[in-house]
Amino acid sequence: MYNFLQGRMVAVRLCLLGAALILIGIGIATIYSVGHPAEESPAGQTERLAVFWKKQVVFAVLGGFVFVIVNSINYRWWGTVSYWLLAGVLALLALLLVSKFVVTLPFAKPINDSYRWISFTVAGRTLPSLQPSEFCKVAYIMALAWYLRYRSNYRNFKALIGPFALALLPMVLILPEPDLGTVMLMMPILFIMLFVAGAKVRHLLLIILMAILVSPLLWYKMEIYQRARISSVLLQNAWIREKAEQHPAVGNILVGTEFSARQWKNDWGLHLIRSKYAIASGGTNSGTGYGFRRGPFTKYGFLPERHNDFIFAVIAHQWGFWGCLGLLSLYVIIVSCGLEIAVNNTDPFGKLLAVGIVAMFVVEVLINVGMTVGLMPITGLTLPLVSYGGSSLLVSMASVGLLNNIGRSRPFSVAPKA
């Protein structure tokens, strides 16, 4: 349990762990700052946020334990149980669906009309709720890596049915919760893992082509608010908004109903507009931001979910452009270390697992940052290690733990290099 640092590639793994810990620290500090702004804020704007940093500290400590536990057993063992882990998570997801569609279960009550959380009440105290879809990500990556460790499982087109089934099953279960973000995350991870594992490019392209052909159908099946979120990337542009308002057909394609710029500004586009304002106003002081616990978006509750999905905007607001660069470079360190570990591991499972985890970080960070700056649709994806959220933090720490685990172990199947 104490020997998780022993093994190969100590420097790389220390960098990895250090960067992860710094990111968690930044996250806790930022969550603290929005609950305790330097200037008194109007009543009701920060009180709710005031305790979150403490919870996050607890989760960080728990995350440390998870890190250690993950490292206490060789990662290959985790591979052998990966199908079971996935099955367990899928069962939890199925329970949520039961709660949504059949009968509301006492431990799976909706929050904001979303059935994403499972929470147990023990002796009158509500334990922190868990988000199975978060755990699903890592279980899915492990199962996928375990499955793809045999070359025959992806070299011909028919064999790809397996991995896709592995991806589609959780996606189908998660989508109705609804949790568009996690679903959007899984496809890129699958593609990256298939690609790195060596699947034929033409097969992947064929699948992408099929997806593009099917997408209009999916588009029309989407809810209005989901469509509006995705088309908001286009609708930021005043010219497009104008056109969408003038031509009902355009508006109908973009949001599935009559488009009103006014409504967009007050409803669908609100998060995006506020997030952009928060980030852009952080350009003050020649790009170094307002400073810790300062700035209007820290003081006032203009930006919804600023401790969570939009924490990047708050960081950009407080620390400016250079602060953002620092934050992103920490992720670059994690990704570089992860890839270094992947490259140095000769075991296909270890390699694929490492790549899958790295891909997860890359996609999450890019989507989260992209959505706050208006380059990506707003999906409820968190910024790994930084955003508030127990499940997310535990999963991220488990992922970092797995990378550490892969990095330090010497696969038995390979002779040490001379």
Partner 1 sequence: MYEKRIRIFVVFSLLLLAVCVLRLAQMQLLSASSVQNEIAELKRRRGQSAQFKTIRGRILDRNGRVLATDQARFWVHIDYELSCFLDERVRRGMLLRASERADPEVVKAEVNEKIREKVDEDLRQIIDKCAQFRAVEPDVISREIQSINEEVWNKRIIQAWRKQFPNSKVREYYESIKRSVPISKARADFEQKLPDPNERLMLVSKVDIIEMHQSSPLLELKTDDDIFAAQLEFMDTNGIHISSKEQRFYPYGSVAAQTIGWVGPAMRKSDKEFFAEEKLATYLDGDVCGRRPGVEYVCEAILRGRRGEEATDIDGQLTSDIDTQPGKDVKLTLDIELQGDMEDYLFRYPHDPNLGEPGISAVVIDVVSSEILALVSLPVYDLNRVRYDYGALISDPNRPLINRAIKEQYPPGSVVKPLILIAGLEDGLITPEEAIDCLPEPAPVGWPNCMIFRANSAAGHTLRWNNDARNAVKGSCNIYFSRLADRVEPLALQQWLFEFGYGQHALAPPYSIAEVDGAELRRNFRQSPGEISSSIVGRALRFEEMPPLNPGERKYFGIGQGSLRVTPLQVANTMATIARGGVFKLPRLFGDPQSSAGVDLGISPETLAIVHDGMSAVVSEPGGTAFKPFEPFLTLFAAAGVKVYGKTGSTERPFHASFAGFAADSDGRKIAVAVVVEGGQSGSRDAAPLARDIIQLCINSEYIGESYFDDQAF
User: Do 392 and 181 meet the contact criterion of CB atoms below 8 Å apart?
Assistant: no
Give the residue carrying structure tokens 């290690």.
Answer: 385
Q: Is 287 a binder of partner 1 (CB under 8 A)?
A: yes
CB of 18 or CB of 296, closer to partner 1: 296
Residue with smaller CB distance to partner 1, 55 or 276? 276
Give least dist CB 334 to partner 1, A.
12
Cα–Cα distance for residue pair 416/418, rounded to 1 Å: 6
Q: Which of 109, 325, 326, 410 binds partner 1 (CB under 8 A)?
A: 325
**CB closer to partner 1, 244 vs 371:** 371
CB 27 within 8 A of CB 311: yes
Find the part of the chain contacting partner 1 (CB under 8 A) among 141-149, 217-225, 253-261, 282-290: 282-290
Minimum distance, C-beta of residue 85 to partner 1, in the bound complex (Å): 25
Q: Which of 296, 301, 305, 411 binds partner 1 (CB under 8 A)?
A: 296
Paired with 114 in beta bridges are 111
Minimum CB distance to partner 1 smaller for 86 or for 324: 324
Of 53 and 290, which has the nearer Cβ to partner 1? Answer: 290
C-alpha torsion sign, points 53, 56, 58, 64: negative
Please say whether the dihedral angle defined by the alpha carbons of residues 8, 196, 74 and 386, taken in this order, is positive or negative: positive
316 binds partner 1 (CB under 8 A): yes
Of 311, 325, 314, which Cα lies nearest the Cα of 290? 314
At 219, which amino acid appears? W
Question: Of 243, 277, 291, 292, which one interacts with partner 1 (CB under 8 A)?
Answer: 277
Q: Which stretch binds partner 1 (CB under 8 A): 101-109, 177-185, 364-372, 405-413?
A: 364-372
- Retrieve residue 197's tokens: 């594992």
With CB under 8 A as the rule, give the number of residues binding partner 1: 38
| 3 state SS of 106 | coil
Task: Give the C-alpha separation, 163 to 406, whole Å.
Answer: 22
Closer residue to partner 1 (CB): 279 or 394: 279
Site for partner 1 in 20-49 (CB under 8 A): 39
Give the relative orientation of helices 201-221 and 180-197 as an angle to the nearest 10 degrees.
Answer: 170
Please answer whether residues 404 and 2 qualify as being in contact, where contact means their C-beta atoms are separated by less than 8 angstroms: no
User: What does DSSP assign to residue 111?
Assistant: B
Distance of closest approach, residue 62 Cβ to partner 1, in angstroms: 30
Alpha helices in 345-389 (DSSP H): 348-373
Distance CA 271, CA 236 (A): 11
Binding partner 1 by CB under 8 A: which of 324, 330, 402, 403? Answer: 324
Among 359, 393, 402, 406, binds partner 1 (CB under 8 A): 359
What the block records as the tokens of 401 is: 């733990």
Whole-angstrom distance, CA of residue 45 vs CA of residue 35: 9
Residue type, 238: A
Task: By CB under 8 A, name the one of 176, 198, 216, 248 that touches partner 1.
Answer: 198
Does residue 291 touch partner 1 according to CB under 8 A? no
Binding mask 374-413 for partner 1 (x = CB under 8 A): xx--------------------------------------
Q: Which is nearer to partner 1, 142 or 327 (CB)?
A: 327
- 273 token code pair: 């507009």
State the minimum distance, in angstroms, from the CB of residue 81 to partner 1.
25
Q: Which listed residue (276, 291, 292, 411) binds partner 1 by CB under 8 A?
A: 276
Taking CB under 8 A as the criterion, the residue among 166, 279, 357, 395 binding partner 1 is 279
Residue 133, strand partner residues: none
Query: How many Å apart are CA 349 and CA 352, to the nearest integer?
Result: 5
- Of 136 and 371, nearer to partner 1 (C-beta) is 371
Q: In whole angstroms, how close is the CB of 277 to partner 1 at the nearest point?
A: 6
Ramachandran assignment for 377, one of left (phi > 0), alpha (psi -120 to 50 degrees), beta (any other): beta
| Contact with partner 1 (CB under 8 A) among 171, 183, 196, 402 | 196
Please tell me what DSSP assigns to residue 268: I
Q: Which residues bind partner 1 (CB under 8 A)?
A: 39, 192, 195-198, 276-277, 279-283, 287, 295-296, 299, 316, 320-321, 324-325, 328, 332, 335, 339, 342-343, 351, 355, 359, 362, 366, 369-370, 373-375
